[in-house]
């Protein structure tokens, strides 16, 4: 991603004003300090980064880890590290509770290691009430930053190193997109690629637009250049990331749609697979369906969040589609791309949800027959409009949730077997967890297949005959 030699950066003068040069300056400064600490303690300094959220959050963690490694930290999965960073999520209340729970545990570790630095970043930090609570009751935290300034990690860390107590830097929003910083990928053969940041949709239940700021798209040439570099570095599959990829391009100087961006990415030589997430049904164009249909690289999987099947609730959710429009779109997709796997997100217990509303959701589930669905119990998020509306009692929500889950699982079990006996391409991602003579691969439609193989196959695509269906995965054997 970056090819700056930190040894050649002059750190004797003032920090440069512009990015990314400013951060390279601070990376070099931090690296000197870390080398000194390593000499003093007689061991390499370690860093542990934990992701709590979605794929965007995971991609941010790779960027954060990229900076940490560039300055000389060794990555570890142990929380007994010199630097521990939680990249938080706040989309539902239980994401927050997990963070508070684990912070107590970190405090106990820190009592034994006083040089340890504890840092928090991500979506939860963009909520002022959270930061107030941390400042009041979690004073052992050394560094807090948000979603808009992750590229400034080296500079913020330098402030921690030089003695500042609890460094807190939060930006309300940004228009800045800083390119060219180091990234440490989790997988050598596949990678997420941000194509846009933020969200402008303000679904009334959702906190993401408040914590991720306004929607902004990256320039197509920057995206293409990043993917070309990734491919040169061994990546065969990319996942294009955005809260609403179908509105890609709005606000850019060059007029470009998501479908057009896909056409350009398709042309990148050496790239084998393209995925994207998430598609908002309201902006999914016929042109996109056309591109998917024609494409040899775009995977046969579309995540199309429904949220609710009730037109009345969809209106209150500010989703901008009706039950019928959603069904028409899903059926059109299935008709045009018959091997497409459709998945979704559904919320149960949105304020005001009646038995009739819920039955509408069940009806859509039965009609679309999703390959899988993430089902969520509505979580009240402070600051969102729906938080102030009359809530559905828990004892009403839980039985509905169970009914929905049972239906979703029953259908998924039936749908997922449909390719049994065929030969499909699988990208081998890892060794099988349970059987050392098997590898685990991902099919174009996002379903996993386990088949005989060895570690040398990881990162490559093989033709696999699907010999046994097990509900949510297949067993297979290499074909040809």
Residue ranges that bind ligand SF4, judged by CB under 6 A: 199, 201-203, 206, 208-209, 243-244, 280
Answer for the pair 205, 347: CB distance below 8 angstroms, yes or no.
Answer: yes
DSSP letters for 164-219: -SSEEE--S-------------S-SSEEEEESEE------TT--HHHHH-S-EEPP
197 vs 474, beta carbon nearer ligand SF4: 197
319 vs 323, beta carbon nearer ligand SF4: 319
Name the token pair of 190: 């596949």
How distant is the alpha carbon of residue 124 from its chain centre? 15
- Is residue 57 a contact residue for ligand F3S (CB under 6 A)? yes
- Is residue 65 a contact residue for ligand F3S (CB under 6 A)? no
Count Cβ atoms below 10 Å from residue 86 Cβ, excluding itself. Answer: 25
DSSP element (H, E) containing 403: helix 394-415
What number of residues does the chain have? Answer: 480
Of these partners, ligand SF4, ligand SAH, ligand F3S, none, which one is at the site of residue 123 (CB under 5 to 8 Å by kind)? ligand F3S
Contacts of 437 (CB under 8 A, 6+ apart): 452, 453, 454
Which of these, 146, 255, 254, lies nearest to 197 by C-alpha position? 146
- Is residue 6 a contact residue for ligand F3S (CB under 6 A)? no
Q: Which x/- pattern, by CB under 6 A, does the window 194-213 give for ligand SAH?
A: -----------xx-x-----
- Is residue 126 a contact residue for ligand F3S (CB under 6 A)? no
- Residue 24 Rama label (left phi>0; alpha psi -120 to 50; beta): alpha
User: In angstroms, rounded to a whole number, what is the distance separating the alpha carbons of residues 372 and 415?
Assistant: 9
- Is residue 123 a contact residue for ligand F3S (CB under 6 A)? yes
User: In angstroms, rounded to a whole number, what is the distance separating the alpha carbons of residues 141 and 83?
Assistant: 11
- Is residue 53 a contact residue for ligand SAH (CB under 6 A)? no
Pick from 185, 381, 400, 450 the residue near ligand SAH by CB under 6 A: 381
- Is residue 53 a contact residue for ligand F3S (CB under 6 A)? yes
CB of 200 to ligand SAH, least distance (A): 11
- Is residue 345 a contact residue for ligand SAH (CB under 6 A)? yes
- Is residue 56 a contact residue for ligand F3S (CB under 6 A)? yes
244 vs 343, beta carbon nearer ligand SF4: 244
53 vs 182, beta carbon nearer ligand F3S: 53
CB of 200 to ligand F3S, least distance (A): 14
- Is residue 280 a contact residue for ligand SAH (CB under 6 A)? yes
CB of 448 to ligand F3S, least distance (A): 23
- Is residue 121 a contact residue for ligand F3S (CB under 6 A)? no
- Is residue 89 a contact residue for ligand F3S (CB under 6 A)? yes
CB of 263 to ligand SAH, least distance (A): 23
User: In angstroms, rounded to a whole number, what is the distance separating the alpha carbons of residues 310 and 195?
Assistant: 31
Answer for the pair 336, 297: CB distance below 8 angstroms, yes or no.
Answer: no
**Cβ-closest residue to ligand F3S?**
53
Of these partners, ligand SAH, ligand SF4, ligand F3S, none, which one is at the site of residue 381 (CB under 5 to 8 Å by kind)? ligand SAH
92 vs 219, beta carbon nearer ligand SAH: 92
User: In angstroms, rounded to a whole number, what is the distance separating the alpha carbons of residues 281 and 68?
Assistant: 38
**Radius of gyration, alpha carbons of the chain:** 23
- Is residue 29 a contact residue for ligand SAH (CB under 6 A)? no
Which of these, 408, 204, 388, 200, lies nearest to 313 by C-alpha position? 204
User: In angstroms, rounded to a whole number, what is the distance separating the alpha carbons of residues 227 and 221?
Assistant: 10
Residues that bind ligand SAH (CB under 6 A): 91-92, 205-206, 208, 243-244, 278, 280, 305, 307, 345, 347, 376, 378-379, 381
Residues that bind ligand F3S (CB under 6 A): 53-54, 56-57, 89-91, 123, 208, 211-212
């Amino acid at each position: 991603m970056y090819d700056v030699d930190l040894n050649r950066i002059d750190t004797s003068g003032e920090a440069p004003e512009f990015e990314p040069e400013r951060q390279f300056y601070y990376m070099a400064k931090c690296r000197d300090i870390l080398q000194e600490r390593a000499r003093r303690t007689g061991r390499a300094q370690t860093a542990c980064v934990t992701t709590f959220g979605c794929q965007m959050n995971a991609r941010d963690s790779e960027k954060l880890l990229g900076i940490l490694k560039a300055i000389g930290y060794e990555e570890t999965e142990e929380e007994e590290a010199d630097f521990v960073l939680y990249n938080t999520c706040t989309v539902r209340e239980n994401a927050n509770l997990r963070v508070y729970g684990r912070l107590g545990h970190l405090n106990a570790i820190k009592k034994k290691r006083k040089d340890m630095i504890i840092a928090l970043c991500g979506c939860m930090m963009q909520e002022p009430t959270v930061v107030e609570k941390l400042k009041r009751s979690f004073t052992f935290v050394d560094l807090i930053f948000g979603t808009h300034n992750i590229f400034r990690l080296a500079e913020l860390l330098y402030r921690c190193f030089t003695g500042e107590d609890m460094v807190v830097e939060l930006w309300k929003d940004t228009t800045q997109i800083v390119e060219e910083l180091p990234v440490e990928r989790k997988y050598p053969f596949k990678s997420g690629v941000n194509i846009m940041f933020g969200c402008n949709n303000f679904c009334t239940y959702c906190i993401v637009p408040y914590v991720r700021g306004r929607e902004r798209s990256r320039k197509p040439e920057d995206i293409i250049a990043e993917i070309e570099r990734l491919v040169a570095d061994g990546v065969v599959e990319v996942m294009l990331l955005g809260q609403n990829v179908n509105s890609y391009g709005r606000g850019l100087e060059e007029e470009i749609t998501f479908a057009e961006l896909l056409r350009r990415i398709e042309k990148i030589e050496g790239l084998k697979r393209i995925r994207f997430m998430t598609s908002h049904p309201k902006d999914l164009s016929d042109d996109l369906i056309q591109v998917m249909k024609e494409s040899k690289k775009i995977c046969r999987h579309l995540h199309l969040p429904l949220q609710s099947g009730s037109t009345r609730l969809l209106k209150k959710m500010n989703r901008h589609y009706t039950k019928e429009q959603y069904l028409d779109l899903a059926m059109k997709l299935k008709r045009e791309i018959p091997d497409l796997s459709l998945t979704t997100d559904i919320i149960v217990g949105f304020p005001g949800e009646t038995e009739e509303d819920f039955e509408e959701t069940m009806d859509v589930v039965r009609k679309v027959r999703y390959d899988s669905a993430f089902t969520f119990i509505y979580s009240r998020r402070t600051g969102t409009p729906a938080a102030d509306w009359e809530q559905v009692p828990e004892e009403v929500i839980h039985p509905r949730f169970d009914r929905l889950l049972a239906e979703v699982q029953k259908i998924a079990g039936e749908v997922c077997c449909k390719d049994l006996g065929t030969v499909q391409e699988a990208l081998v991602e890892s060794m099988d967890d349970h059987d050392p003579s098997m590898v685990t691969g991902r099919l174009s439609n996002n379903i996993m297949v386990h088949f005989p193989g060895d570690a040398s196959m990881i990162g490559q695509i093989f033709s696999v005959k699907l010999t046994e269906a097990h509900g949510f995965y297949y067993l297979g054997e290499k074909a040809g």
